[in-house]
Structure 1
Amino acid sequence: MTAEEIQNFLQQEFPENPLIVESCENRRARLRLEVDQTHLRPGGTISGPTMMLLADTAVYAAILTTIGAVALAVTTNLNINFLRKPEPNLDLIGESWLMKVGKRLIVGEVKIYSENDPEPVAHATCTYSLPTKSLPS
């Protein structure tokens, strides 16, 4: 799937998801979150759940580049390390790649950056379970 196809798929299946698919290629994706006041927590920093949304969706987008439109793939594990405080006035960028693509499980990695900053603010790994294909009757 192309970046445009993935963006359209996400808007159709998950209309509440605010992320922008900037680019993708086989096993990789780059997504953007346009940060606004709703993403901030007390103290003026971007909330952890907001960064988890970006990490989870970035891996999902990389999966879609590999196996196509599978709405029922589900997250089975997400582990995130918050490395430093992101800039609250800059967009967040999530860059993902798939480490392992198996028959039932896919494992991906994501680095999250504040826009135009080469140092990551968070690092995540995410495992997805693929739905069992229907057997012919």
Structure 2
Amino acid sequence: MSHDRFADREHMIAVLTEQFPTWNLMGDLHDVGPRFAVTRMQPQPMHLRPGGTVSGPALFAMADICMYLAILWELGPAGGPCVTADMHSRFLQKPDRDAPLLCTAKLIRIGHTLIVAEATIRPEGRDAAVALFTASYAAPRV
């Protein structure tokens, strides 16, 4: 698979924003390349649970979007029809509500009808993960 189907990151972001206008509520694209993407999220009040922790649904959405960005970069605009088939989460520790979070997604396998990916979320500047995710995406036209 070639990742050169987009002219650049800005073109990919424009296509994604047209298809999914609210994607960046769960982070901004920090880096992208062959078979990977990194997003960054500064937690906002909408991401928090009572008690001040970043909610599981916010982390889950951040990981899903980051993995989708890696897929979109790898497959180009044709990757748009991919949908999440399943996703598994493992929350390891409570993230600091004030620390920016980085999510790194990697594509593990790109098959004819299924893409397998993983994502790790860490506080920016730290090695310890707060959450791990694995997912598969149905790719009917891959």
User: In the alignment, is the contact (CA less than 8 A) between 1:6 and 1:21 conserved in 2?
Assistant: no
String of CA shifts for 1:5-25, please: whole Å, max 9, x gaps: 332222221111222111111
- Cα deviation, residue 54, structure 1: 0.7
More helix by share: 2
> 2:62 is aligned with what amino acid?
L
Aligned to 2:122: 113
Aligned to 1:62: 70
What's the TM-score, normalizing by structure 2?
A: 0.87
- Structure 1 residue ranges (4+ consecutive) displaced by more than 4 angstroms after TM superposition: none
1:23 aligns with 2:31: yes
**Distance in 1 between residues matched to 2:56 and 2:103, nearest whole Å:** 14
User: In the alignment, is the contact (CA less than 8 A) between 1:97 and 1:109 conserved in 2?
Assistant: yes
Q: Percent identity?
A: 33
> 2:12 is aligned with what amino acid?
I
**Distance in 1 between residues matched to 2:17 and 2:102, nearest whole Å:** 19
Gaps of 5+ in 1: none
- Cα deviation, residue 27, structure 1: 0.3
1:80 aligns with 2:89: yes
- Cα deviation, residue 39, structure 1: 0.4
What's the TM-score, normalizing by structure 1?
A: 0.90
More strand by share: 1
> How many corresponding residue pairs?
133
Q: 1:10 aligns with which of 16, 34, 39?
A: 16
What is the alpha-carbon root mean square deviation over aligned residues?
Answer: 1.4
Gaps of 5+ in 2: 1-5
> 1:103 is aligned with what amino acid?
H
**Distance in 1 between residues matched to 2:126 and 2:119, nearest whole Å:** 15
**Distance in 1 between residues matched to 2:17 and 2:42, nearest whole Å:** 16
**Distance in 1 between residues matched to 2:113 and 2:38, nearest whole Å:** 24
User: In the alignment, is the contact (CA less than 8 A) between 2:81 and 2:141 conserved in 1?
Assistant: no
> 1:12 is aligned with what amino acid?
E
**Distance in 1 between residues matched to 2:92 and 2:11, nearest whole Å:** 32
User: In the alignment, is the contact (CA less than 8 A) between 1:3 and 1:22 conserved in 2?
Assistant: no
Q: 2:59 aligns with which of 51, 54, 57?
A: 51
1:34 aligns with 2:75: no
1:126 aligns with 2:132: no
